[in-house]
Chains A and B, each alone.
Chain A
Amino acid sequence: MTQQWEPVIGLEIHAELNTKSKLFSVAPNRFGDEPNTNITEVCTGQPGALPVLNKEAVRKAVQFGCAINANVAKFSKFDRKSYFYPDSPRNFQITQYEQPIVLGGTIIAEVEGVEKSFAVNRVHLEDDAGMLKHFTNFAGVDYNRAGVPLIEIVSEPCLHNAKEAVAYAMAVRAILQYLDASDCNMEEGSLRFDANISIRPKGETGLRNKIEIKNMNSFSNLQLAIEAEIKRQAQEYTQKSHLPPNEVIKQATFRWDPESKQPVLMRTKEYAEDYRYFPEPDLVPIVLTDAYINQIRATLPELPLQRLRRYISQLSLAPDAAFFLTSDKLLADYFEEGLKTCSNARNLCNWIIVEFAGRLKDTGKTILTCGITPHQIAKLVNLIDKGTITGRIAKSIADDMLADPTLDCEQIIAGNPDYQPVHDSAEIAQLVDQVLASNPQSIADFKAGRDRAFAFLVGQVMKLSRGKASPAVVNDLLKERLKAKGKDEG
C-alpha cells in the first residue's frame, strides 16, 4: 500500500510597494534606471545618515491589512536584522520583527472552481536590498533598489498543495493591484515568493522539518518548485523509512534559480543565521489612531472579490470567466473600459479572454500589451450583435486587428469586400438550393426530426458563402425551403 502524504505549505510573499520615494529616504522608488542613480546617503548606508519613515508606505500597508480583514496594529515598531552581504548597505535590514503593523487576516482564493479561505499570520514593513551584478572579473552593487519599501505577507502553514499556493498568491497579487499598492511586476521582482514546505503522512498532526525555497518570481515557478519539493520529500521518506523523519529531511533553505528552474542549497539548519534582532533606535514606533485606520477602511477601493461577485450577479458572467477577468486588475479594468462602448458583457468577455487571448498565445504579448484598445474590441462585438458582420468575419477582422493594432475595425471592414456580409436573399437562395440538392440525406434526417441536420445544412451554406452570408437570412431561407419540400411530398 502506498503512503498517503499531506503537504503543509506556508508562503511568504514580498511585495514592493509602489510609493513615490523609498521607505526611509527621499530617493525615487523607480525600476530600470541607470545603476546607482536613485540613491541618497541613506540608501548607501553612509555614516551619519538616518532613516525617516515614508508615510505613504505605512498607508499602503494599512490598506492591505484592511483589505484582508486583518487586525491593524495601533502600535508597531521596527527592528534591526543583522547580516552581512554587499547589497545590504548598512549590513542590517530594517524590518518589523516583534510588533508588525498587521496581524492575522484572510485571503479568499478560488482553487479549481471552489472558493477557499486561507489564514494570514502577519504583514510587516521592511526595506529591500540592493542588487549584485556580476561582470567577467568583478562584481558591482546597484543600490537603486536598496530601501524600496516592501510588505512581507506571511501565511499560516495552511496551504496543502501547489495549486492552493498559486491560487493564494494570485489572490494576494490581485488585492495589491486593486489597492494600487504594488506594481506586482514579477519580471522586475516587485512580487517574490518564498515557500516553506513539509509533508506528513495523512492523519499525522505535528509538523515535520520544513524546506524553505526562496525567491521565486512567477506563479509557474512557484507551482513547479512546490510540486517538485513535495515529490522529493515523499521519495526521501519512502526510501529511508527505516530512519526517524527528522533525519530524513533536515531543515534547510534553498534559493530558486530562475535560469535552471532548480532550487540551489543556501544553508542547512546547523548554519542558520543569527539575525540578532533588536529594536531600531533610529526610528520611533508607528502609532496609528482608530480614526486613521477607519478612514482607510471606509475608503478602500473595490476589491477583486467584490468585483468578481458584481460581474456574476450584475453582468451575468460565468463564474470562471468572471474569476479569470478579476484576478488580474489590469485585465478587469480593460474589460470595464470596453463596457463603456458595448453593453453585451458576456460577449465582450468572451472576445477578450477567449478569442483575442487565444490568438495572442505564444506571441509573447497579452491583450494588455498588444496595442488593441478595449474600445475596438467592444466595437467589434457591437457589429456582430447588430448583424453587420458574421461571427466568422469577425474572427478574420480580429486577425487583421492583431496584425495592425492601429486599424479601426470599421475601416477594416470598409476596406475589404470579403468582409461585407451578403444580405441579398436571391444570392443566398441560390446557395441554399445548391446545398439542398447535394445533401438529400440531411433533408431526410431533418424530416425524421433530427435537429442537428438543420445546423449542418446552415453550416454548409455558410461554408459555401465563405462565411459572408447573413446567418439570419440563411436560417429563414432554409426553413422556408425545407417546409416547402415537406409539403411537396405530403
Chain B
Amino acid sequence: MHTLSAIDLRNKFIQGDLTAVEITNHFLARIDRYNQDLGAFLAVFHERALQKAKNLDEKRRKGEKLGKLAAIPIALKDNIHVAGEISTCGSQFLLNYRAPFDATVTRLIEAEDGIIIGKTNMDEFAMGSSTENSSIQKTFNPWNLKCSPGGSSGGSAAAVAARLCPLALGSDTGGSIRQPASLCGIVGFKPTYGRVSRYGLVAYGSSLDQIGPLATSTADAALLVEVIGQHCDKDSTSLPMPGETYPLQERVAGMRFGVPRQFIEGLAADQQQIFNNSLETLKSLGGTIVDVDLSSCKYAIAVYYILATAEASTNLARFDGIRYGKRSARAKTLDEVYELSKEEGFGPEVKRRILLGTFVLSAGYQDAYYKKAQKVRTLLLQEFKKAFEKCHLVVSPAAVNGAFEIGAIKDPLQMYLEDIYTIPSNLVGIPAISVPSAFTKDNKPVGLQFMGPQKQEAHIFPTAHAFELANGSSKKIPPLYQENLA
C-alpha cells in the first residue's frame, strides 16, 4: 500500500478498494515500525487520525461527497498549528506549547478530508539545512542513515521518502522544502509567495516563508497545492485570487528553459554531469535551453541572511517567557525571565540568527546591511523578470550535492551555502520545485529545480511532471523502507 501515490490511495478509497481505517492503520504501523530509527516524527496522532478515518468510512458509506484529499494521511511540519496539539518548532522553548488555533492549511486539509497523522521534526524554528538544529531529536536520511535528510523540513522529507506517509507539508524560507526533497529523493514545492496562507505557521522570515508540499510525485504535490492554495483573510499577504487546479498534461515541447551559467560553474564535476543530463532530458522532450543572466544571485545568500534574520529577530522576540512556552525556573526578576528563558529555550543557531538580525537592524548599521540588502533584493527581482522574458522557466540544481553525513558540516557559514540554489526564489517570491533527477555514485538522490514567474504554478507542474516521468528517479523507494508490512 505504501508504494501507492496519494492520489492512488484516495482513488482506491473512493472506489471502495481500501477503507480509510485500513490506509491509516497501514501508515501508523509503518511509523511505529520505522520512526524510532528514522526520527522523522515528533508526534503521531494515532487516535485523532483513526477517528477521522472512521468518520470518512462512515461518510463514504452514507454516499456523501468526499474531498480531494479523502483518506490521505498527511504529516505536518511541527511549525504548523493543529488546534489543541503541541507545536514545538523543534525548540525547547515550545515543548509545552499547545496551539490555540488551526493553521489555515490545517483547516483546508481537514475540509478536503485529508487525515492529519502527525507532526514532523525540523531545525529549530526552521533555521538550518540539515535538521541537526532540532533541539529534540535527530532525523536521518532514509537513503543512508548516516546522512542528514537536509532541512529544515527534514522530518517531513524523511517521512515521505520512507513512505511513512504519502504526503507532508513543510515550510520553505530559503529552501527548507526543496533542499531536503532533493536530498531525500522526493518532490518538494515552494509556492509563489502569498499563494498559501501563513496563518498558523510559526514565522521565521515573514517575507520569505511559504508552506508547501513534500510528495513522492509532482501530481501529489500539485493536488495538495490545489487544496491549500486559497486566498485567506487572516493573512494580509495572501494573494487576492481564487484557488487553481493544475491539470497535469505532460508539456515540455515549445518550452524555453533558462540556465544561469554563473551559478552552475562552481558545481562539482559529477553534479555538473547530472545537471547536464537533466538538460538533455528536457531537450529530448522538446524543450530548448537558453542562457539567462542571474549574476546578482551571487549576493543571494548574504541578502538572505540579513533579511531573514532581521525579520526573525523580531518574530522570535515574542518568546520571552511571559505568556507561553519556556519560563526559566531560575528567573527571579523580569530581566531574568527574558534572559534566562531565552538562554535555556533557544539553541545556538537560533541565538546566532537573532543576534545577527538584531545587529543588521540596529542604529548606525541598518543602512549598510538591512537597507542595502533590500536594494539587492529589488535588483534580483528585476533580473528574474528579465530572465523570464527569455524563458518560461529557470532550471538549476536544487542542492549543491547529495546528502552529507550528520555532523560533517560544522561551520555555520558552510551550512548556509547549502541553500545557494534555493534562496533566490524565496527572495523573489516565485514558485519553485525540486524533482528527483538522479542518484550519485554512492546512491544518494539529487534533485532538479524549476523556477517559474510569480503565480505561474500552472507552468511548473506540467513540466516537472513530464520531466519526472521521463527521468524515473522518483519511482525509487529507499531499500530500507521497501518492505510491505502486513
Contacts and interface: CB of A to CB of B under 8 A. Distances in A.
Contact of A46 (B79, B237, B324, B362): B324
A53 B94 contact: no
Interface string B93-133: 01001011101000000000000000000000000000000
Interface string A55-78: 000000000000000000000000
Interface string A266-288: 00000000101110011110000
Interface stretch (A84-92, A338-346, A430-438): A84-92
Interface in B307-331: 310-311, 313-314, 317-320, 322-324
A147 to B, nearest CB: 14
Contacts, number: 93
B199 A45 contact: no
Contacts of B363: 274, 276
A82 B317 contact: yes
Contacts of B413: none
A354 interface: no
Contacts of B235: 50, 52, 282
B324 A281 contact: no
B24 to A, nearest CB: 26
A80 interface: yes
B246 interface: no
Contact of B206 (A46, A84, A281): A281
Given A48-B87, A92-B314, A276-B361, A84 B203 contact: no
Given A281-B206, A282-B206, A45 B237 contact: no
Contacts of B318: 45, 47, 89-91
A90 B317 contact: yes
Interface residues of A, number: 28
B237 A48 contact: no
Contact of A86 (B206, B236, B322, B358): B322
Given A84-B338, A276-B361, A282-B236, A45 B323 contact: yes
A47 B317 contact: no
Contacts of B362: 274, 276
Contacts of B322: 86, 141
Nearest to A45: B318
Contacts of B370: 278
Contacts of B324: 46
B14 interface: no
A277 B310 CA distance: 10
A28 interface: no
Contacts of A84: 317, 320, 338
Contact of A82 (B94, B100, B234, B314): B314
Interface in A77-134: 80, 82, 84, 86, 89-92
A90 B362 CA distance: 18
Interface residues of B, number: 43
B81 A44 contact: no
Interface string B199-210: 111110111000
Given A82-B314, A92-B314, A278-B370, A50 B234 contact: yes
A151 B77 CA distance: 39
B190 to A, nearest CB: 17
A44 B100 CA distance: 11
A410 interface: no
A188 interface: no
Contact of A51 (B236, B338, B361): B236
A333 interface: no
Nearest to A82: B314
B196 interface: no
B237 A47 contact: no
Contacts of A276: 313-314, 358, 361-363, 366
A451 interface: no
A295 B433 CA distance: 46
Given A84-B338, A278-B310, A48 B202 contact: yes
B408 interface: no
A316 to B, nearest CB: 53
Interface string A166-179: 00000000000000
B338 A48 contact: no
A46 B207 CA distance: 18
A89 B323 contact: yes
B314 A86 contact: no
B270 interface: no
B197 to A, nearest CB: 9
A41 interface: yes
Contacts of A48: 79, 81, 87, 99, 101, 103, 199-203
B87 A47 contact: yes
Nearest to B207: A281
B89 interface: yes
A283 B99 CA distance: 23
Contacts of A89: 318, 323
A89 B366 CA distance: 25
B199 A50 contact: yes
A49 B102 CA distance: 10
Contact of A53 (B99, B200, B205, B236): B236
Nearest to B200: A48
Nearest to A90: B318
B198 interface: yes
A101 B205 CA distance: 26
B343 interface: no
B236 A283 contact: yes
Interface string B129-157: 00000000000000000000000000000
Given A47-B89, A84-B320, A276-B362, A41 B100 contact: yes
Contacts of B268: none
B418 to A, nearest CB: 24
B368 interface: no
Interface string B418-445: 0000000000000000000000000000
Interface string B162-202: 00000000000000000000000000000000000011111
A48 B199 CA distance: 6
A284 B237 CA distance: 6
Contacts of A53: 236
A219 B382 CA distance: 54
B69 to A, nearest CB: 22
A137 to B, nearest CB: 13
B486 interface: no
A285 to B, nearest CB: 10
Contacts of B206: 281-282
Nearest to B199: A50
Contacts of A45: 318, 323
A48 B201 CA distance: 5
B445 to A, nearest CB: 32
Contacts of B314: 80, 82, 90-92, 276, 278
Contacts of A283: 236-237
25 contacts: A44-B323, A45-B323, A46-B101, A47-B87, A47-B318, A48-B81, A48-B200, A48-B201, A48-B202, A48-B203, A49-B101, A50-B235, A82-B314, A82-B317, A82-B361, A86-B322, A89-B318, A91-B320, A274-B362, A276-B362, A276-B366, A278-B366, A281-B237, A282-B235, A282-B236
Interface of B: 79, 81, 87, 89, 94, 97, 99-101, 103, 198-203, 205-207, 233-237, 310-311, 313-314, 317-320, 322-324, 334, 338, 358, 361-363, 366, 370
Given A45-B323, A84-B317, A283-B236, 10 more contacts: A47-B89, A49-B199, A82-B361, A84-B338, A91-B317, A91-B318, A276-B314, A276-B361, A278-B370, A282-B235
The 8 A-B pairs with the shortest beta carbon distances in the complex, nearest first, are A91-B317, A276-B361, A281-B207, A281-B206, A47-B202, A45-B318, A48-B200, A274-B363
